[in-house]
Amino acid sequence: MILRRMAITCRSYYTSRTNKPSLYSKISPLGNPNTSVVPVLDDWVYKGNKVRVAELQRVIRDLRKRSRFSQALQVSEWMYMKGVCVFSPTEHTVHLDLIGNVQGYSAAESYFDALRDEDKTHQTYGALLNCYARQRETDKALSHFRKMKELGFASSPLNYNVIMCLYAKIGQHEKVADVLSGMKKNQVMPDNFSYRICINSYGVRSDFCGVEGVLKEMETQPHIVMDWNAYSIVANFYIKAGFRREAVSALKKSEERLGNKDGEGYNHLISMYARLELKKEVMRIWDLEKSSCKRCINRDFTTMLESLVKLGELDEAEKILTEWESSGNCYDFGIPSIVITGYAQKGLHEKAEAILLELQNKEKLTSPNCWSMVAGGYLH
């Protein structure tokens, strides 16, 4: 979903500057969410290593980013139980959110109720609101939000955005604009995300007058810096409705606001131009992405190959595949399999087999399913 630009799509990778192992390097590889990280933490201390609050907080951030909430909660609980630091409202907020993710809103409620009054701040109130919204507990969320407004804890757009997202999740899109109006009435300035949620709520109802009205308002707000995302959302709805000219216009505006090295933005543009069957634009944006980002990662090649296969441009796709092979990126069979599948679906089984044989000769991993698909094509 374009609404949220995931930090997960970061183009950088963590590399240690020294050979000395860190606590982060011990916990990060434990990808199985059922694996407890507590023994690793205890062993770290047992071996005489120092435990730094900043590093533990970094581990928690990383685990949350990767949706490894159970392990993040274990680290937070360990930090609290071992007295590594006294929890401030900030730590309580993170902990409460993790409890809601792992154990549900009832457990989060219990944790919140047990907090001291001085720890019941706008942060912890907001975390509990998030827990209600995440589980679509509409009545509880709205009641809690009213309480926050009474306490003066709803002075930022963040909590209004939570309510708007909740209405969108439960399909009550017509209520989203009312929340935006209420926000402005209460002198809370909407942010980019507020406007994007509202644009989306009109778009899903094919109300293009509403879409354009919110977009124009957004463009006139001095505190709003227009980015590629808003125009990309608008273009998406135009494409779905078959309004090609309007879609291209929105994509051009989106392109104008792309930042340097913004691979995610370039990939969205490539995918959308492919939906519009505009090969020339797909190739143009790809060239811009390579020039701007300097190095294309596997995700970028995946987007480009999928787009070319969608367009039926298999010869171009094979050229991009050759670029990927010489890019120095880590090997991922999912990338050549896009072209292999494309050839097989077109009945060009010899070309699909040729790629598989080449990979096999290079001792690269392939998939039995791909071999079966190609063999099946010969039988038919």
Residue 96 has pLDDT above 90, yes or no: yes
If you average pLDDT over residues 67-74, what whole number do you get?
A: 96
Q: What is the pLDDT of residue 29?
A: 87
Handedness of CA 99, 105, 107, 109 (dihedral sign): positive
| DSSP 8-state code for residue 121 | S
Q: Does the pLDDT value for residue 27 go beyond 60?
A: yes
Taking 70 as the threshold, does the pLDDT of residue 329 lie above it? yes
For residue 14, pLDDT beyond 90: no
Q: CA–CA distance from 154 to each of 51, 158, 160, 313 (Å)?
A: 36, 8, 8, 52
With a cut of 60, say whether residue 264 has pLDDT above it.
yes
On the 0-12 / 13-18 / 19+ scale of CB atoms within 10 A, 206 is exposed
The pLDDT of 60-74, averaged and rounded, is 95
Distance of CA 309 to the CA centre of its chain: 24
Q: What is the mean pLDDT of residues 189-201?
A: 97
Q: Which residue has the higher pLDDT, 238 or 380?
A: 238
pLDDT in tens, 111-122: 999 999 999 999
Q: State residue 15's pLDDT score.
A: 42
What pLDDT was estimated at residue 34? 85
Q: Is the pLDDT of residue 378 over 80?
A: no
**How many other C-beta atoms are found inside a 10 Å radius of the C-beta of residue 59?**
23
- Range scoring the smallest mean pLDDT among 82-86, 97-101, 247-251: 82-86
- Residue 19 has a pLDDT of 60
Q: Judge contact between 282 and 305, C-beta under 8 A.
A: no
206 token code pair: 């094919």
What tens digit of pLDDT does each residue of 121-179 get?
999 999 999 999 999 999 999 999 999 999 999 999 999 999 999 999 999 999 999 99
Residue 271 has a CB neighbour count (10 Å cut-off) of 18
Mean pLDDT of the chain: 92
Angle formed by the axes of helices 298-311 and 263-275, nearest 10°: 10
61-65 LR contacts (CB < 8 Å, sep 24+): 62/24, 62/28, 63/27, 64/94, 64/98, 65/7, 65/8
* pLDDT for the residue numbered 180: 97
Give the confidence band of 28 by pLDDT, cuts at 50, 70, 90: confident
322 HSE (CA, 13 A, CB side): 6
Helix and strand numbers, DSSP H then E, in the chain? 21, 0
**Binning pLDDT at 50, 70 and 90, where does residue 261 land?**
confident
Residues 281-293 have pLDDT tens digits of 999 999 999 999 8
Spell out the alpha helix ranges (H) of 204-348: 208-220, 228-241, 244-256, 263-275, 279-293, 298-311, 314-325, 334-345
Q: Is the pLDDT of residue 3 over 90?
A: no
What's the mean pLDDT in 314-332? 95
Question: What's the whole-model pTM score?
Answer: 0.85
Instruction: Please state, in angstroms and rounded to a whole number, the distance separating the CA atoms of residues 369 and 118.
Output: 59
- pLDDT of residue 30 exceeding 80: yes
